[in-house]
Structures are given as C-alpha cells and as structure tokens.
C-alpha cells in the first residue's frame, strides 16, 4: 500500500511541472483588447491593449445580421464564393495604450439590416507569441444595432468562420 502511494506521489511530482509549463506557454484565453467604441458607418474601433504585451498585428472580421436577425459573415463584395473580408491592422499598440483603428471607404451600417458584430480573431505580439480565437467563438467582439433597433430580439448565433 505504501509503495503504491509513493509511486503515485512521484508521478504527480513529475507531471505537475509539465502542466504548469503548458499553462504558462499557452495563448491567453481572455480577450487581449478592451473594445471601447465601434462605429460601423466608417469602420472605426477604439481599443485599449490589456494583454500585458506590445501588439504588432490584429485581424478582425465582421458578421452581419439581416432584418430578421439571420447572421452571416461579411465576404469581399458580398460574394460568398470569395474569402471573408479581413480587417487587418499592423501598427504597434503598446501595453495599456488606447488607439482608434480605422479602415477608410468602408461601411457596415446598412439601413435595413439588423446590425452586426466586429470580431477580433487573431493577435500577434512583438515577442512572436499570438492569441487566436477558435472558429466557433466570438468572445472578443463589438456589437452594433441598426439605427432603428434598440437590441437584438433573437439570441446571437454566429456561424463558423471559414
């Protein structure tokens, strides 16, 4: 009995440092940005870097709700056969800094649509590490409603990003 207990303790002592190491090298699970304000009319977003690291690259995607709140990812030219429209940003954002990001000549605010979600999907840090949102999540997003709406009536269910 004592031998089994000692062997289990030895195995636990060996595995514990491995699990701690895996946790420290894993990508952060929470959103590395505070999304302060989003304007869909000119596609601008005010963000604050809360990651603890300097950010050197960001990727956002937009999902749009139609008037009956069916969600769809925004593709180039509204053509589903083309790739998703990526809103990329490659200028440095230091830890704790706030910055307004903008993409001119873009508009996501369609008068008779339901609204949308601007979703952060990937972050590259100066040290080479990264944060990636799984394709079935949108935990780091800014929502907006069409000017005629006060909220979404149905639950927000975004399709998988492809």
Contact 106, 42 (CB under 8 A): yes
Q: Where are the domains of the chain?
A: 28-145
Angle at 139 between CA 136 and CA 145, to 5 degrees: 100
State pLDDT tens for residues 17-71.
Answer: 333 333 333 444 589 999 999 999 899 999 999 999 999 999 999 999 998 999 9
* Superfamily of segment(s) 28-145: Immunoglobulins (2.60.40.10)
Task: Report the pLDDT value the prediction gives residue 29, as an integer from 0 to 100.
Answer: 58
Q: Which of 12-16, 50-54, 92-96, 144-148 has the lowest mean pLDDT?
A: 12-16
Which sign does the torsion angle of CA 9, 14, 18, 21 carry? positive
- Mean pLDDT across the chain: 83
Task: Report the pLDDT value the prediction gives residue 13, as an integer from 0 to 100.
Answer: 43
Strand residues in 50-150 grouped as ranges (E): 55-65, 71-73, 86-89, 98-102, 115-125, 130-132, 141-145
Task: Report the pLDDT value the prediction gives residue 20, as an integer from 0 to 100.
Answer: 33
């Amino acid at each position: 009995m004592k031998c089994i207990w000692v062997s289990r303790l030895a195995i636990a002592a060996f595995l514990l440092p491995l699990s701690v190491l895996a946790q420290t090298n894993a990508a952060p699970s929470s959103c590395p940005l505070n999304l302060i304000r989003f304007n869909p009319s000119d596609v601008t977003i005010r963000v604050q870097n809360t990651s603890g690291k300097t950010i050197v690259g960001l990727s956002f995607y937009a999902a749009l709700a139609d008037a009956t709140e069916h969600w769809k990812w925004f593709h180039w030219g509204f053509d589903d056969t083309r790739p998703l429209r990526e809103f990329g940003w490659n200028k440095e954002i230091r830890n704790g800094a706030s910055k307004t990001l903008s993409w001119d000549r873009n508009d996501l605010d369609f008068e008779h649509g339901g609204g949308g979600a601007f979703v952060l999907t990937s972050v590259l840090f100066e040290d080479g590490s990264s944060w990636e949102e799984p394709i079935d999540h949108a935990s780091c997003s800014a929502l907006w409603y069409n000017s005629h709406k006060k909220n979404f009536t149905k639950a927000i269910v975004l399709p998988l990003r492809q």
